[in-house]
Structure 1
Amino acid sequence: MNKKAFAAIILSLAIAIIAVNSWKPLLSSGEKKTPEASESAANSNVVGIAQGNIAPDFELALLTGEKVKLSDYRGKKVILNFWATWCPPCKAEMPHMQSFYEKNKNKEMTILAVNLTALDKGQEAIDTFVKDYGLTFPIPLDEKNKIGTLYETITIPTSYIIGTDGRISKKYIGPMDEELMAKLLKEAN
């Protein structure tokens, strides 16, 4: 097989993987949980990214420079979203997130949209994106990709739905609309 044919096959496989992960979103990665297993996880103090675990805490700087911790939002439901300015599905999702946030921000919920800054196109691109989309929810900057790595964010957008008790209710890969956000938050504790 010549080099051009091999490169074409590799490129085709990469495009197929991206397409499947971007256009056919997956709900809840990982094992299916029995009611007993879910109840046991919900009663444990395990910190991790699996459903039922306490979400790992982190501290990042917001666009404003102010520091924020995930644990600051304990008592509220949180949509923890990972995104970048160059990501087409992220661009499609942001108007829905902003609208949902505006309608629900006073209802004991928030959106923390972590920008994968280490993988993005720089501060100016992020600032322009936020301005163009009129985003007002908190945007922490993951400048060293530590939090994206911790939360195993391979495909973006990826969101974790976190209940008022700080436990992960769902992991959702792909863009969300308002209806889906409402459904996922309703299912969270």
Structure 2
Amino acid sequence: MAHPSLIKSIGEKVLGHNGPVDLNDICGPDKVLGLYFSAHWCPPCRGFTPQLVAFYKHLKENTKHQLEVVLVSSDRDDTAFHDYFNDMPWLALPFTETKRKIRLSRQFRVTAIPTLVLIDSRSGRLLTRAGREMVTSDPEALNFPWRPRPIGDILASTKLVDTEGQEVPYETVKDGYKGLYFSAHWCPPCKAFTPQLVTAYEKIKKKEGNFHMIFISSDRSEESWRTYHSTMPWLSMAWEEKDARRELASNLEVKGIPTLVILGPDNSVVTADGRTELSEDSEVERFPWRPQSVEVLAERHMSRLQESPCLVLFTDGEMTELQFGRDVLLPVAEEYLLEHSEEGGLALKFFVAGEDEVADSVRDFACLEDVVPLVAILDLAEGAKFLLEEGVEVSTATVHNFVTRYTNDKLSPLPIRPVTTSATNTS
């Protein structure tokens, strides 16, 4: 049986070479579902597809592992789709399911093709978005299905050293908050940020004594690593731990440096964007920078408006009105986020906005009237907006009803200016 979240995202049936196939028939205990985002027009896709075919057949013929793959096509017409699909031994999302393709790309944050996303089909949990890289590096499937090791296990199994090169047991940092600092001496933005982080580190230590930083180096030589680490008053993963550094970066989806990831005492990720959080909270008053269910819309949130559907309650910007907005939205947001935690890029984000340049630009782009209070759900990627009906009092109850109707597809979308999805880029 497929997890309900997968049926909702993919549909009850997928396309086989001989007709429709029930999703439930290819899912179940110990079965891995691969979503293969690809297209015939994409040269990197055509290069990777034969590798994936060989890997798929190897699994079927030589191992006990159970993998089924579903093509999620970015082809431009039905003919190209079928020409490409005919050379594949697996299944596909029907070409006409355009909306589902867009939503799957957003749900699993697919920003380029080819991408192979692997999911535990019974629980619906994401195993990895880096299936392409895994197939390439492990063609014999020796470590399939590449379930990521817990962060704590990686840290516990590696060597940590202080600035003098002395080994420090993981037990000394195990139960505290941890900052993982991905950085390198050769990187100008890193060298500019590190002094700011040193200052912040000293402030955090005064506030939260059980806090530890660990430098995760991307340096090109041991000498550069040692030189750079000597400027930091915290620990580092030892130079020889190359594989562990790569594994951490992969598990935490670190895309560039400098990156600051804050972990809780249980090694769960509190925030993967510590650098931005620090830039907006230099006095570290909000440390450890836990995500808020409802945030005040700011410039740094603009990318989120592009990536995920967002509910925005526009106010006149007075402190009392911003607080009113938070009070209205908070119970709705907390309930919603608890129920929809597995939806990734499809889950609503909640914001309260004032009267400033950021709010004005959002209003202008979405063609919203300049009235307050105004409640809108904006789904820029799908070119849609949903408005709480005019004349309805803005309250927790009415917003809750509004969100429930949105979740159950009971609202009629209004058009918004279209935006170009990035899921058709190649890499």
| TM, length-normalised to structure 1 | 0.56
Q: State the Cα distance separating 1:130 from its structure 2 match.
A: 4.2
Q: State the Cα distance separating 1:167 from its structure 2 match.
A: 1.6
Ranges in structure 2 where 5+ consecutive residues have no aligned partner: 1-107, 110-147, 292-427
Ranges in structure 1 where 5+ consecutive residues have no aligned partner: 1-29, 32-45
Query: Counterparts of 1:21-60 in structure 2 under 5 Å?
Result: 47-48=149-150, 56-57=154-155, 58-60=157-159
Query: Counterparts of 1:55-134 in structure 2 under 5 Å?
Result: 56-57=154-155, 58-62=157-161, 63-68=163-168, 70=170, 72-106=172-206, 107=208, 108-116=210-218, 119-123=219-223, 125-131=224-230, 134=231
CA distance in 1, matches of 2:287, 2:172: 21
1:150 paired residue number: 247
Q: Could you list the per-position Cα deviations for residues 129-177 of structure 1 after superposition, in whole angstroms to 9, with x for gaps in the alignment?
A: 345xx42122233434212211214422223211022222222386764
- Cα gap change, 1:164 to 1:61, in 2 (>3 Å): closer
What code does the residue aligned with 1:128 have?
T
The farther-off stretch of 173-182 and 71-80 is 173-182
Asked if 1:159 is matched to 2:260, the reply is yes
- Three-state SS of the structure 1 residue aligned to 2:246 is helix
Match of 2:273 among 165, 172, 184: 172
> Rg: which structure is higher?
2
- The count of aligned residue pairs is 137
1:8 paired residue number: none
CA distance in 1, matches of 2:239, 2:158: 9
- Cα gap change, 1:126 to 1:176, in 2 (>3 Å): farther
- Three-state SS of the structure 2 residue aligned to 1:86 is coil
| TM, length-normalised to structure 2 | 0.28
- Cα gap change, 1:160 to 1:97, in 2 (>3 Å): same
Q: Over aligned residues, Cα RMSD in angstroms?
A: 3.4
